[in-house]
């Protein structure tokens, strides 16, 4: 199973009153609740990560794995969507990629991007949409676990 994962507004909530703390690896720290929530989803599903964040190509996959590890998230397979050279919306990026490449139906999208409200229903049912200022929460992790279980049951 795959998790199409955004970072800003998901693992890094957008606080209007403070800029995020940058760790020694040059990337912002992750929110603690978001880390616990993502770890719940990963340990329940064994999902691999596909990074969708606009910053995905700032680091190699190996560097990303270390960035996650430093923030207490152990990821197995980690890949990235292709560089968004055509300045597509997140919705267009995902629709294009998934219709081209995704061989199975077993994935979730975790993202705060508002363009995803207009996903086709078959993809929207796989969206866990965070609030940009809050990020990934325990409540949303529950929703993800429910969707994963239903998917396993073929519902």
Positions that interact with Mg ion (CB under 5 A): 6, 8-9, 112
Q: Which is nearer to Mg ion, 9 or 28 (CB)?
A: 9
Report which of 30, 5, 1, 2 is spatially closest to residue 116, judged by C-alpha positions. Answer: 5
Tokens for 135, please give them.
Answer: 């990020």
* Residue 13 neighbours by CB under 8 Å, 6+ apart: 31, 34, 132, 133, 134, 135
Shortest Cβ distance from residue 86 to Mg ion (Å)?
Answer: 19
**Least distance to Mg ion, CB of residue 80, Å:** 15
- The DSSP call for residue 76 is S
* Residue placing its CB nearer to Mg ion in the complex, 9 or 13: 9
Q: State the nearest-atom distance from the C-beta of 50 to Mg ion, in Å.
A: 14
Shortest-Cβ-distance residue relative to Mg ion: 9
């Amino acid at each position: 199973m795959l998790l199409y994962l955004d970072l800003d507004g998901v693992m890094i909530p957008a606080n209007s009153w403070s800029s995020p703390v940058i760790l020694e690896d040059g990337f912002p720290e992750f929110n603690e609740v978001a880390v616990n929530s993502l770890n719940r989803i990963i340990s329940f599903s064994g999902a691999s990560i596909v990074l969708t964040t606009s910053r995905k190509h700032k680091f190699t996959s190996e560097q990303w794995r270390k960035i996650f590890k430093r923030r207490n998230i152990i990821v197995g397979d980690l890949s990235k969507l292709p560089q968004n050279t055509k300045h597509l919306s997140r919705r267009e990026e995902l629709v294009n990629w998934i219709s081209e490449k995704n061989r199975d139906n077993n994935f979730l999208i975790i993202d705060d991007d508002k363009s995803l409200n207009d996903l086709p229903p078959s993809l929207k049912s796989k969206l866990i949409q965070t609030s940009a200022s809050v990020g990934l929460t325990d409540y949303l992790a529950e929703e993800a676990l429910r969707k994963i279980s239903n998917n396993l049951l073929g519902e």
